[in-house]
Amino acid sequence: MNPLSVPIGLITRGTIAILLLMGAGVSAQDVTEPALKAAYIYSFAKFTEWPADVVPRAAEPFVLCVLGDAAVGDALERLVKGRVLAGHSMAVSHVAPAGPQSMCHVLYLSGVTASQAAQLVARHRDVPVLTISDVEGFTDVGGIAQFFFEQGQLRFSIHVGSAKRAHLQISSNLLALARRK
């Protein structure tokens, strides 16, 4: 499903909670799928705690990387512009599968095959990078968060074990909205 906008009937309780948690003043009728995914990605970052040794230095931004979905990347850039996360500005970086993702705090993957997703996750398995994707089976191969549609509604799952292995602490507020694996 790739609609130009998400009808109000498809906005779930979880989506409303995510939008409220992130403080976005967005009309539900105007939310596109890329903007909705960007809101989720931002909220995932906002409700995740990284180890102190990987938090950026004072002048450095939190880096949210997007691979394979320019529309989500563009929506995420618009969303995070002027916002701070744990006292840091945020930057969005569009990356390639073979390119470096070592500077990423968050890595969103889309438009890749399941085997490519598995390879990318393997490169970040024990690294404090919040990996998110809409690739089917993403959390089964070690990814942390996965978007999926269920009965026409955007939902997400979180693999708690993968988050722990990456030394990331996911807020209980976010876990309460997720399907846990």
The pLDDT of residue 28 is 52
Q: How many CB atoms lie within 10 A of CB 32?
A: 16
Q: Exposed, middle or buried, 86 (CB in 10 Å: 0-12/13-18/19+)?
A: middle
What pLDDT score does 25 carry?
44
pLDDT at 58: 74
Find the helix packing angle between 13-22 and 33-46, rounded to 10°: 60
**With helix as H, strand as E and coil as C, how does 55-95 read?**
CCCCCCCEEEEEECCHHHHHHHHHHHCCCEECCEEEEEEEC
pLDDT of residue 3: 33
State residue 163's pLDDT score.
Answer: 96
Specify the pLDDT at position 169: 96
Quick one: pLDDT at residue 97? 80
Query: What was the pLDDT predicted at 125?
Result: 82
pLDDT of residue 159: 96
pLDDT at 181: 64
Question: Three-state DSSP class for 2?
Answer: coil
Quote the pTM value.
Answer: 0.82
- Going residue by residue through the chain, which has 181 residues, state the pLDDT in tens, using 9 for 90 and above: 333 333 334 444 454 444 444 444 444 556 799 999 999 999 999 999 999 888 877 788 999 999 999 999 999 999 999 999 888 899 999 998 877 667 899 999 999 998 999 999 998 888 999 999 999 999 999 999 999 999 888 999 999 999 999 999 999 999 999 987 6
